[in-house]
Amino acid sequence: MNPFVLLAVGAVTPHPQVAVGEPWQLSVEGQLRPRFVTHTGRDFAEETLVDQLYVSQRSRLGVVLQHADGTQVTVRLQDVRFWGEETDTLDASAEGVDFHEAALRLPLMEGTTLTVGRQEFAWDQQRLIGQTNWAQRGRAYDGLRLRWVGEAADAEAIVLPILASSNTHPPLGDADGHVDPARTDDTWLAGLHAHTAVGAGIELTGLYLFRRDGALEEKRHTVGGLASVKRGGLNGSLEGYYQLGDLGQESIGAWMTGARLGYTFDAIVKPQVTLIGDVLSGDGQPTGAFDTLYGTNHGLYGELDFFTNIPRHTAGLGLLDAAVRVGMEPTQGLAIKGDFHQFRSVEPGPNDETDFGQEIDVNLDWKASEQLSLAVLVGIFLPGDLWKVTRGPADASAEQALYVTTDYRF
């Protein structure tokens, strides 16, 4: 079939499928996600309400080829750019174009698959392994993923090369396999994850992760799990993780715990209230500060993304996040929620300060149709005394931001 016909069909039909010859099935899909952004500079300096104004855009085009035996080939192209970033209107360099996913999924024994290549996936609440979908680039992983799925349980193992240092420093190494046999700076991530449903609305998960970073001389083990419950209008979760291992000549000892408790009232507009508490260890030293690895920290510790790189964004002092969320659904397809966060450090910083600040976020999400959605985020961050001495100017002012995201998928 002519590829231009496929694209035309895809523009009006969600995930169109085309039989390319039994037993194969071809699906075409895509996404256009422009985002209008304005904020006060993210530098906490005294400035006007609109210091930065721009539009970023994610564009994706993918094909998924499926066989009746479960074999699947997924290829998704992605372009991420700012409007107007090209040198001129004739620039055709396409520097933002990349393969976001390119993977082969192979069926093995019953319920078991092996996925090879570049792929998206996430574990649990994306605390440690996430897709980071809020970012226009998104997160994808190169490597192997072995998964087994049963009726009430599933398990998987991963082996991921995060950074192949030799391939970034020619002429010692290149992408064709001519690599430096003495390389020592590679970063690898391996892990195990298991999930089971133990009762009506009750689920348990456990995980183990091992990261070896040759450049940092790090061997970091992470072990822990999550328990969640959802019954009627009540939903909650409790999770905890511990990290140990070596960082250079020092021993690692770090931990984190998080809890959610929410209730949705049986009313027309579905009012919701959720209490949130997260504690991540930190003692001012790299060995005692919990590392969130490759988690999706957006939304977990506020939505303005001042705590996306932990422990760097907490100066290694740890983080205590106490929050409350309220929301409602005034009509079908429309959801509104508001969060208030109080951020403090676990270990006092300079001058014994512990107050990182407060954040208020308001979200409006509208699903206009099966293909089109609109999301609006308005946020304000009020820096505390600890923030001023570790991250911002001494007379730091509040930061405000507005994000308007239009998402069209086919």
Q: Which of 188, 202, 187, 208 is nearest to 128 (CA)?
A: 208
Q: Quick: pLDDT tens for 190-239.
A: 999 999 999 889 999 999 999 999 989 999 999 999 999 999 999 999 99
pLDDT-above-90 percentage for the chain = 80
Q: Give dist(CA 167, CA 332) in Å, integer.
A: 50
Amino acid at 270: K
pLDDT-above-70 percentage for the chain = 90
Q: Give dist(CA 196, CA 201) in Å, integer.
A: 11
Looking at residue 272, which CATH number applies to its domain? 2.40.160.100
- Token pair in block for residue 230: 């959802």
Taking residue 267's Cβ as centre, other Cβ atoms within 10 Å add up to 9
Domain around 7? 3-409
Q: Quick: pLDDT tens for 94-149.
A: 888 999 999 999 999 999 999 999 999 999 999 999 999 999 999 999 999 999 99
Q: Which of 334, 328, 291 is nearest to 313 (CA)?
A: 291
Q: Quick: pLDDT tens for 77-92.
A: 999 999 998 888 888 7
Q: How confident is the model at residue 9 (pLDDT cuts 50, 70, 90)?
A: very low
Q: Give me the residues paired with residue 190 across strands.
A: 159, 210
- Per DSSP, the residues of 324-380 read EEEEEEEETTEEEEEEEEEEE-SS--GGG--EEEEEEEEEEEEE-SSSEEEEEEEEE
Residue with tokens 């208020």: 360
Q: Quick: pLDDT tens for 268-283.
A: 999 999 999 999 999 9
The structural domain count of the chain equals 1
Amino acid at 256: M
CB environment 213-230: b (16+ within 10 A), e (fewer): beeeebebebbbbbebee
Least confident of 2-16, 225-239, 326-340: 2-16
Kindly report the backbone phi and psi dihedral angles of residue 332, in degrees, each rounded to the nearest multiple of 5, phi listed first: -60, 130
Q: Would you state the pLDDT for residue 5?
A: 42
- Token pair in block for residue 264: 């949705």
pLDDT of residue 179 exceeding 80, the answer is no
